[in-house]
Structure 1
Amino acid sequence: MTIDREQLQRRTVRTLVASQVCGGVGVASGIAVMALLALRLSGSETLSGLGTTAQVLGGALITVPVAALSARRGRRAGLSLGYALAVLGAIVIVLAAAARSFPLMLLGALLFGGATTANSQARYAGADLASAQHRGRDLSLVVWAATIGSVLGPNLVGPGESVGRALHLPRLTGSFVLATLGFVLALVVLTLLLRPDPLLAARELDRDPAGTTAPAADGSLRTGIRAVLSDRRALCGMLTTALGHAVMISVMVMTPLHMDHGGASLRLIGLVISGHILGMYAFSPVTGWLVDRFGGPVVALGAAAILLSGGLLAATTQEGMSARLAVALFLVGVGWSGTLVSGSTMLTNAIPLAKRPAAQGFADLAMGLAGAAAGAGAGAILQHSGFAMLGYLGAVIAICIAVAVLVLGRTPRPST
């Protein structure tokens, strides 16, 4: 089979960008009202954050079967599984709202996390066929596409209410109906256009000239753990993404409460969060270029410095709205982008093609669990120690990222 690798890579990235936009709209539409719906169904502010926590946890756990399926049957099958579970989750959430069942809503939120898995794993699909010189760029372009969905999704809350009323459903469920449509569109795009599958095509192209069969792919979690732990560069990439995600989640999820306690309006809270999301995604292509130009470890150190600055700045803010808080959240977003792109590229570069889906799945599982733990612990820290402690804790984790990169990120010397 003769394949023009560069042409196929361009087509793959375009397809993944389109699916990311559709899937991103769906994810952001649901997340925008998840806490409000949880509050309505549980009747408790204490429990209102469990919906989002369940969604984050589901996104982490679903990574395991998605990675295993990707290893056996290619990226198209794995990503489609994530979106299919998300469609089921959105439907379950709508049924839970109609039945006023909070436990059923949490089950739906777990399944809804499949879309987060698919959106996250898509960046690796964008790197399967990329050359080593452009892997960071292509991976970051797929990450950047999530910007569009993240911006459009929350703005569909109003139309979603109209959809809910038109279908004689609780008004907040309209956002999940729109999310379902977004996930279905992403599934259609992947099914029709992601052909040939980038991972399977990469295996075909990477066979040796004699045509020897490539090593069998193994997408099990055990294989992923062994692959990452046996290579310090891969371990460095995993720690960079997981710890960077923990910093971002811990500071971001409590910012609305920190602002609300000071009397900030919902419009100002939305403005700060929008600036944070802008920092997370808008500059990822620049980050990818920097990774290709200077290497993942250098960019990871820069990202850790930005996270350190954002955490320390956030720790010095007062309750309510302030320009300092807006800048702090923007810096945390930019730092997160740097850790995600650099860490993902370091991991991908370090792992042989046959083991990449398993290793990437384990890395995303670790990232998701770190985010879930950070989100769950942030509320307790805010209640007992205040928002400043969250900022300082984020700064400490940023320093841990830098230490990990300095210790693990060096290119090993060839043995003599």
Structure 2
Amino acid sequence: MTSTGPAAPTGIPTRSEAQRRVLTVLVTSQILSGAGLAAGITVGALLAQDMLGSTDLAGLPSALFTAGSALAAVAVGRVSQARGRRPGLAAGYLTGAVGSAGVIAAAALDNPVLLFIALFVYGAGTATNLQARYAGADLAAPAHRARAVSTVLVATTLGGVVGPNLAAPTGTLAGHLGLPALAGPFLLAGAAYALAALVLAGWLRPDPLLLARALQREERAQASGVVAASGPEQARRPVLLLGALTMILTQLVMVAIMTMTPVHMHDHGHGTGASGLVIAVHVGSMYLPSPLTGRLVDRHGPTAVAAASGLTLLTAGLFAAAAPADSVGLLALALALLGLGWNLGLVSGTAMITDAAPLATRARTQGTVDVAIAVAGATGGLASGLVVSTGGYAVLSLAGGLLALAVLPAIAATAKSR
């Protein structure tokens, strides 16, 4: 019988067996968490607009839950580094559920301060949803890491697409419970995040990061102490920086345009059903292309796909700027391209970070990078309301598309340095 690689240590499952189980559990948790993730996107800005009576700070909810995700990314990364992926991810989703409960309370009390605090806590779910992609790559072979990442990401599609389309039904449920209709999606988010935490805490065994370390130690021992490095530090650093920059740019542009699209539609007479549909298309496009993106990264390399992300986001900005305000179809197309550009950037950037970061410090490095991504999202969300208030939605869309092109000179500079 042909061997598929070094045998696992006694009592430790083989890499392929463990990877199949890990992906199954992660897929299940991502389906649940996708619904929680979509709630804040769909109605967070509308809640703030209703409470404050102005669009000037309508981007603040997005900024707050992405800022909260920055803090959560640090915490999840550090817990994962010290104790493994299972406790880190489970704690992150449980915190997101607590934040969802706080948003519901704030809506019931009509308390903007509590709303903003709760949205900050709710951001932990967003950070954890993204950190889960790294867990999918811990045990994957280098040639298939992007596909492993994409498998975790695509699982978010079901919950992410269904969630926004439940805005109206959950709003009705909230009304029956004596709550404002816009609190309805957060009822779904709280339940979804709590269930995702339970799934991970109960079934993410063996822990992929801890097992990857154990298998690496065994492989090193069998190789008589000869360690295969991923390359010298000076060669890995430019790749780390490019991967981080790719994801930072795509996150900033995506969050800025996405945040203000429901507000833009609301201001032109569209209801939550129409905006929920557009956001559902957007979230689907963020995650559904992941298997294809993963294959493209594994086959053609992450830098080529990163370049494609910048061009796709530029196209999305042009479509969003040109779309008539009364055209749900064209706005949906623009948001679909926006989601696709984000997906190309995220998968390619994740592959760069995972390939370049040593296993011994991988979780901490990934958490640090995700902090920068979250800060970029917070910046995009906060600035988006101000840009729309002063220049309009078209200006925001065009500016975002042009900013995304900054990834191209970064790719060229990295190629020269290697």
**Both proteins in one fold, TM over 0.5:** yes
State the 1:174 CA deviation: 4.0
2:4 is aligned to: none
C-alpha separation in 1, matches of 2:349 and 2:62? 25
5+ long unaligned stretches in structure 1: 216-226
Asked if residue 114 in structure 1 is aligned to residue 124 in structure 2, the reply is yes
2:378 is aligned to: 372
Stretch deviating more after TM superposition (359-368 or 206-215): 206-215
Would the alpha carbon gap of residues 399 and 199 (structure 1) be closer, same or farther in structure 2, given more than 3 Å must change?
A: same
C-alpha separation in 2, matches of 1:100 and 1:229? 53
Q: Percent identity?
A: 41
2:256 is aligned to: 250
Stretch deviating more after TM superposition (206-215 or 317-326): 206-215
1:398 is aligned to: 404
Stretch deviating more after TM superposition (388-397 or 66-75): 388-397
State the 1:105 CA deviation: 1.7
- CA offsets 1:156-177 (integer angstroms, 9 cap, x no match): 3344345435544444434333
Would the alpha carbon gap of residues 56 and 145 (structure 1) be closer, same or farther in structure 2, given more than 3 Å must change?
A: same
TM-score (norm 2): 0.88
Alignment of 1:189-338 (within 5 A): 189-207=199-217, 208-210=219-221, 231-263=237-269, 267-321=273-327, 324-338=330-344
Would the alpha carbon gap of residues 396 and 174 (structure 1) be closer, same or farther in structure 2, given more than 3 Å must change?
A: closer
Alignment of 1:4-403 (within 5 A): 4-165=14-175, 167-207=177-217, 208-210=219-221, 231-263=237-269, 267-321=273-327, 324-403=330-409
Stretch deviating more after TM superposition (78-87 or 285-294): 78-87
C-alpha separation in 2, matches of 1:214 and 1:21? 41
| Matched letter for residue 221 of structure 2 | A
| Matched letter for residue 297 of structure 1 | T
TM-score (norm 1): 0.88
The answer to whether the Cα contact below 8 Å between 1:96 and 1:104 also exists between their aligned partners in 2 is yes
Higher relative contact order (CA 8 A, sep 6+): 2
Would the alpha carbon gap of residues 400 and 266 (structure 1) be closer, same or farther in structure 2, given more than 3 Å must change?
A: same
SS in 2 for 1:312: helix
Stretch deviating more after TM superposition (106-115 or 318-327): 318-327
Would the alpha carbon gap of residues 234 and 15 (structure 1) be closer, same or farther in structure 2, given more than 3 Å must change?
A: same
C-alpha separation in 1, matches of 2:356 and 2:66? 27
1:220 is aligned to: none
Coordinate RMSD, CA, aligned: 2.7
State the 1:76 CA deviation: 0.6
C-alpha separation in 2, matches of 1:25 and 1:132? 31
Would the alpha carbon gap of residues 303 and 78 (structure 1) be closer, same or farther in structure 2, given more than 3 Å must change?
A: same
Aligned residue-pair number: 401
- CA offsets 1:320-364 (integer angstroms, 9 cap, x no match): 316554433222221111000000111110110111111111111
Stretch deviating more after TM superposition (160-169 or 49-58): 160-169
2:230 is aligned to: none
